[in-house]
Amino acid sequence: MTLQSAESIVLHSMTRAPQLADAIVRCIDANDLRQGLALCEQLNRQHPGYAYGWYLASFVLKKVRNPREALRAIERALALEPADKYLLQQAKCLVELGDVAAAQAAVAALQSPARGDARLQSELGALYLQFGRHEEALAHCSRAVELDRGNPEFRYNEAALQRYFGDVAAAEAGFDAVIALDATQYEAYNSRSQLRTQSRERNHVAQLQEAIARTTDPGGLVQLHFALAKEQEDLGDFDAGFASLERGASIKRRHMRYSVDTDLAIIDRICVAYGPAMFDGHVAGCPDQGPIFVLGMPRTGTTLVERILDSHSAVRSAGELNHFALELNRLAGEAAASVARAQPGAGSQSRLDFVAATTKLDFERLGAAYLASTRALADGHDYYIDKLPFNFLYAGLIHLALPNARIVNLQRHPLDTCYAVYKQLFRDAYPFSYDLEELARYYVAYDRLMRHWNEVMPGVIHTLHYEALVADVEGETRRLLEFCGLPWEEGCLRFHENKRAATTASATQVRQPLYDSSVGKWRKVAARLEPVRAILQRAGIRTD
C-alpha cells in the first residue's frame, strides 16, 4: 500500500464519522430510533475515539429507555472530551437512574453555564426542576427566552414554571405567546385553561372551538377538548363540558395500548403476596424516619396535604418522586439476573411473577437505596415528602423497607374522585382514567388494596378524608402532624401563603385559602356518572 493510498483511507475514515453522525441525527428527527441505534453502534465501533458519537449513542439509548447504557456511553464521551453538553447529558441519565446527588455534581462541574446558549439554558432549567430547585429552574428558563423569544418550547417552559409559583398573569401571557408563535402547540391551550376560573367576560371557548374545527391531529384534539371542557364547566355549562370530556377521553383511549385487567390482576397478586405473614416479625428495614409518603388516588387532595406539611419548618417537599419504584425495579432486576445466571433455562419474568419476586428482596437494602437517591432533595430538612399518588401500590414494601417512614393516604368521596380523575389529562400516568367503566373498576381495586394494607399493617397508614379536612382544617392538621411526629406550627394553616413552587395540576388552587366548592361536585353530572356509581355500588362502596 502506498503512503498516498493510506492517507486517503485515513481521510475517508475522518470524514465518515461526521457523515454517520448526521445520519443518526436524521433518524432521531424522524423518530426512527431502531435505525439510529444501529448507526450508533456502527459509528462507535468504527470510530471509538469520536466523542460526539458516544454522545449520540447516549441520547438514543436514553430515548429507548435504557438509561444505564446511556450513562456508560456518555461517560465514554466525557473521557474523550470533557464538555458542558456532555455533562448535561450525564446529569440527565443520572436523574433517570435516580441518582440525584451525582446528577447535581455533574451540573456543578460545568465549566461555564453557557450564558449565551438558549438550548443549554433550557436544558439546565429542566434539570434544576428535577432537582427540586425551582427558582434556579425558572431563572434558566427565563434566560433561554431572553436569548430566543421566538422559540415556543422555551416560552412554554417558562410559563409552566411561572404557574408553579402562582404567577397566573405572567403564565397566561406566556401561554398566549406560545399559541401566537405556533398554533399547533396544543398543550399550551390546555395549560392556559387550567390557570384560573374562566369567566363570561374572559374565556377562550370560541378560540378553542375554532381550533378543534381545524385540527386533525389526535393528540392535539385531546388537549383542545379537555381545555374546552374545563372552560365550559367554569361557565356553568356542565353538560357541554362533560360532552367535551367524553370526546377528548375517547380519542385518547383509542390511541392507547392498555388493559385494565392487567392492572387489576397485579393488585390482586399484591394482596396475595403481601399477606399477614409478610409483616409478622420481618427483618427490620432501614430505620430512617425522614420520608413522609403522601399517596392515594390522584385528585383527592394530595397536593393540599403536601402544602400543609411543606409549610412546617422541619419538612420540605421533594415532589412526586418515582425513586421507590426505580430502586425496587433495579434490585428486583439484579435478583432476576442472578437467577438467570444460576438457571440458564429460566424464562423471562412476567409482571405477576415480578410481584412475587419482590417479597424476597433485601428490604433494608431497598430502604437504604431509596434514601441514598432522595435524601439530597430534602434540602437539609429532617423530613421530606414523597407525594407520588401511585405509591399506594407499594405501601407494604415501603413499610418493610422503611418501617419508621410515615404513610398518609388521602381519600375523597368515590364519585368526586372518579369525576376529578376523568377531568384531568395526565401526561404519562393513570391510563385507566379515559374510560368511565375502566376508571370505576380501577377505583374498586384501589379501595380493596387500601383495605388490605390497613388489615395487614394496622395503624401504619394514616387515612385522611378530604371532606373532613375541608370541614375542620385545624383539627385534621393537628392529627396529621401528630401522626408524623411533628410539633404543632400555626404556619401549617397558612399553607396558601407558602411561596415555594407547587408542581402539580393543583398548583393554582393550593395558593388559595381552603374552600369547599369541590365537595359534592359530582352531583352536577350525576346522570353522566351513573355507570360509575353502579360499578362502585356492586362492589359494596357507598356513594350516598
Q: C-alpha cell of 10?
A: 485515513
Beta-sheet pairing, 291-296 with 383-386: parallel
Flag the least confident range among 249-258, 290-299, 448-457, 496-505: 496-505
Provide long-range contacts, Cβ within 8 A and 24+ apart, for 130-135: 130/95, 130/100, 130/103, 131/95, 131/100, 131/103, 131/104, 131/107, 131/376, 131/377, 132/317, 132/318, 132/319, 132/377, 132/379, 134/161, 134/164, 134/165, 134/500, 134/501, 134/503, 135/501
CA distances for 470 relative to 423, 467, 515, angstroms? 21, 5, 7
Stated as kind and residue range, the H or E segment containing 63 is: helix 51-63
Percent of the chain scoring above 90 in pLDDT? 80
Mean pLDDT of 31-46: 94
Amino acid found at 106: A
Domains of the chain: 183-255 (no CATH), 260-538 (3.40.50.300)
Q: Quick one: pLDDT at residue 240?
A: 97
**DSSP string for residues in 9-52:** HHHHHHHHHHHHHHHHHHHHHTT-HHHHHHHHHHHHHH-TT-HH
Residue 101 banded pLDDT, cuts 50, 70, 90 = confident
Residue 147 banded pLDDT, cuts 50, 70, 90 = very high
Residue 4 has pLDDT above 70, yes or no: no
More confident site: 146 or 100: 146
Residue 502 has pLDDT above 90, yes or no: no
| Angle formed by the axes of helices 67-80 and 84-96, nearest 10° | 160
Mean pLDDT of 392-404: 97
Measured between alpha carbons, how far is 230 from 160 in angstroms, rounded to an integer? 18
Longest dimension (CA), the chain: 91
pLDDT, tens digit (0-9, with 9 covering 90-100), for 159-192: 999 999 999 999 999 999 999 999 999 999 999 9
More confident site: 502 or 208: 208
Q: Quick one: pLDDT at residue 518?
A: 83
pLDDT, tens digit (0-9, with 9 covering 90-100), for 512-537: 777 777 889 999 999 999 999 999 99
Q: Quick one: pLDDT at residue 511?
A: 58
Residue 504 banded pLDDT, cuts 50, 70, 90 = low
Q: What's the mean per-residue pLDDT of the chain?
A: 91
Q: Quick one: pLDDT at residue 10?
A: 34
More confident site: 100 or 527: 527
Q: Quick one: pLDDT at residue 1?
A: 37
Specify which residues 430 forms β-bridges with.
Answer: none
Residue 5 has pLDDT above 70, yes or no: no
pLDDT, tens digit (0-9, with 9 covering 90-100), for 220-239: 999 999 999 999 999 999 99
Residue 402 has pLDDT above 80, yes or no: yes
Residue 81 has pLDDT above 80, yes or no: yes
Q: Quick one: pLDDT at residue 510?
A: 63
In this prediction the pTM is: 0.87
Specify which residues 409 forms β-bridges with.
Answer: 295, 463
pLDDT, tens digit (0-9, with 9 covering 90-100), for 449-470: 999 999 999 999 999 999 999 9
